[in-house]
Amino acid sequence: MSIDRPAAVFESMANGERFRRLQTLKVRSKESALDVLLLCAELEVAARGASDDSALAYVLYRSSQAHCVLGEVAAAHDLALRASELSQRLQDRAGQHRALYELSRALAHGERLEMARDTIQRGLAIAESCADARAIADCRSMLSAILGKLGDLVQSEREAVKALSASRDIGYEGGIAMSAATLSQVMRFRGDCSGAMEVLEIALRASEASGNMTHKAVVLNSLGQCRNETGQYASALDALFDALNVAEQVGLPTYVAFCLTEIALVCANLRDVDCTIEYAQKALAVLAESDQNYMAALNGIIGEAHYCAGRFSEARAYVNQATTLMRSCGNCVEMSFALGLSGLLQIECFEFVEARKSFEAAIEAARTVGTRNELGRWLGAIGVALAHPINPHRDVAAAISYLEEGIAQLDSAKDARAWYHQELSHLYGETGYLEIARYHFEAHRVLRCELQSAAAHLRVLSIQHQRAMASLEAQRTSDHSAALAANLRATLLERDLEHKQRELASTALSLAKQTELLGKFRNDLRAIMRGNSDLLDIVKQIREKLKDLPCAAIDWAKFEADFQQTYPAFQSQLITTYPELTKMELKICSFLRMNLTSLEVAHLMCKSERSIEWHRLNIRKKLGLTREQDVYAVLAAIR
């Protein structure tokens, strides 16, 4: 179905307006996603009622898009699958590649990476057959991200470069931002962090030009990752907290969790255990098991923090959980980290043989993916294990070799480099090479000072962020309260207007009725005067007419409606409890509920006071009241 004009089922004024709004509404925040879902729910009913599958396919595709942004992966997958099947049956190729893109995104979020790769490749082939340049760029960018997760970094980089080139050719700023962010991730994994940051600067400008805050959050998050990898911890925290602020403003929990995760990683590099655990647990709480890859990474981060604090049993529990999740996801990038962390824990338990096996497995995983920092970290860790004083297989020469190689591979990771320089200063001092030992000790000291400075910057940023979030929450609460107050004022004004309109209408009707009664009374007087010559008889008849006149002027229907509105359950409960009461007695009970005296009731009903007192006596008998009981109190108790 073409999305340039409404389908036949949407031609009505209301549905046509909704459809046009759906076409222009971009899913860039939680609020816009919810708006899309609301529009889709209304349009889906119309499409199903008209049995219009082409319209239904588009609505399902947009619903899937919104659910995916909200992190509701299962719902997004089901809707995208149905949209794809409908588009295929209708031979709508544009609809097919749109739906396949959303389906692959849902599959990737659900960690079904091979299926996601196959799905997006189908979508790319269809987009190419349609010559849809924007769709081709989007599909290539998605394919690059999925291939990166699968560990095929070479092909991932090729697809990202193609996506970036295609986006630039058509001036697609959103595509430039996303493909550049994906390319930077691949370059970072391959150790080219400086190149990745150059690409991210391009992505940041593109995201700002497009006005897409979601893209901006992703790019800033990636920029923070690269700075963290190169040891620029202070500037990394600046970028990550900026990304966190943007993600919280647009209200997308998945992106908030991603930013919190990266902040936790910086805290881990700074060896700030409390902050690491705090931010990682915040991210876990936000994710709520929606992304297994990040769940695995966060468990590993928390495990490492516990390891640094010397809480080895807690560390082992988290690391085991991380390893299990990573194996289920098939994530080679994170597997290296979990295996290496297991090796560090085994060193603490003096399991040196098992530790070396874990480190070698971690090194193999790092070589497979091509991540230099992970490779350097675990090469140096083998050196630490070989240099351990109580290792029965202690080998100082081999330990120095592994530590030197590890430092050579580490582009960043200042914490690991500081540790390995310290180990080398001890080993060279032990073997008599004092100058080299002094060099490594000085390198260790400089790195430690940089880490402490960055840790202080982290604490300042953390406090600033907490204050900013408190201010934002207060502003949101204030805005919400102001909106509620405005709505309340509008509601009260509307009710007041309605009340005045009802009063005016009632007054007009009352005047009309009084005019009608006076006219009728005048005609009756003329008839009496014409038909009777006896003066006493004329006076008697006039008195009878005057006696009935006030009662006729009362609008009993309005009175009963107003009474029912004021005491909604009174009449029904009275009839149910005392069914023997007559209509006259029920009316008198209503007046008594209003605390009117017998004389006042008599005037209203055009009866004598004695007649009303007689009716009251009958009411007391039927209610079963004793002399001590007050009829007013009994009737007032009926709600």
Measured CA to CA in angstroms, residue 528 lies from 458, 520, 536, 543, 553 at distances of 102, 12, 12, 12, 21
Lowest mean pLDDT among 147-151, 238-242, 288-292, 332-336: 288-292
Rounded to an integer, what distance in angstroms lies between the CA atom of residue 135 and that of residue 98? 8
Provide the pLDDT confidence category of residue 328 given band limits of 50, 70 and 90. Answer: low
Is residue 502 pLDDT above 70, yes or no? no
The pLDDT value recorded for residue 297 is: 79
Q: What domains, with CATH codes, occur in the chain? A: 1-131 (1.25.40.10), 252-330 (1.25.40.10), 331-414 (no CATH), 558-636 (1.10.10.10)
Rounded to an integer, what distance in angstroms lies between the CA atom of residue 588 and that of residue 601? 7
Is residue 2 pLDDT above 50, yes or no? no
Closest CA to 331 of 269, 374, 382, 275: 374
Rounded to an integer, what distance in angstroms lies between the CA atom of residue 181 and that of residue 458? 25
Rounded to an integer, what distance in angstroms lies between the CA atom of residue 128 and that of residue 135? 8
Provide the pLDDT confidence category of residue 478 given band limits of 50, 70 and 90. Answer: low
Rounded to an integer, what distance in angstroms lies between the CA atom of residue 246 and that of residue 472? 12
Q: Is 373 exposed, middle or buried (0-12, 13-18, 19+ CB in 10 A)?
A: buried
- Name residue, tokens 């098992």: 354
The pLDDT value recorded for residue 614 is: 92
Q: Is 4 helix (H, G, I), strand (E, B) or coil?
A: coil
Q: Is 51 exposed, middle or buried (0-12, 13-18, 19+ CB in 10 A)?
A: exposed
SS3 sequence, 196-242?
Answer: HHHHHHHHHHHHHHHCCHHHHHHHHHHHHHHHHHCCCHHHHHHHHHH
The pLDDT value recorded for residue 30 is: 72
Is residue 152 pLDDT above 60, yes or no? yes
The pLDDT value recorded for residue 5 is: 42
442-456 tens-digit pLDDT: 888 888 887 777 767
- DSSP state, 624? T
The pLDDT value recorded for residue 461 is: 67
Is residue 199 pLDDT above 60, yes or no? yes
Rounded to an integer, what distance in angstroms lies between the CA atom of residue 623 and that of residue 621? 5
The contacts of residue 549 (CB under 8 Å, 6+ apart) are 517, 521
Q: Is 594 helix (H, G, I), strand (E, B) or coil?
A: coil
202-236 tens-digit pLDDT: 888 888 887 777 788 888 888 888 888 777 878 88
Is residue 322 pLDDT above 50, yes or no? yes
Rounded to an integer, what distance in angstroms lies between the CA atom of residue 269 and that of residue 153? 25
Is residue 314 pLDDT above 80, yes or no? yes
Q: What percent of the chain has pLDDT over 90?
A: 3
pTM over 0.75: no
Is residue 311 pLDDT above 70, yes or no? yes
Provide the pLDDT confidence category of residue 496 given band limits of 50, 70 and 90. Answer: low
571-620 tens-digit pLDDT: 888 888 888 999 889 888 888 888 888 888 887 777 788 888 999 999 99
Rounded mean pLDDT of 285-307? 76
Contact 138, 175 (CB under 8 A): yes
The pLDDT value recorded for residue 634 is: 87
Rounded mean pLDDT of 160-164? 88
SS3 sequence, 528-583?
Answer: HHHHCCCHHHHHHHHHHHHHHHHHHHCCHHHHHHHHHHHCCCHHHHHHHHCCCCCH
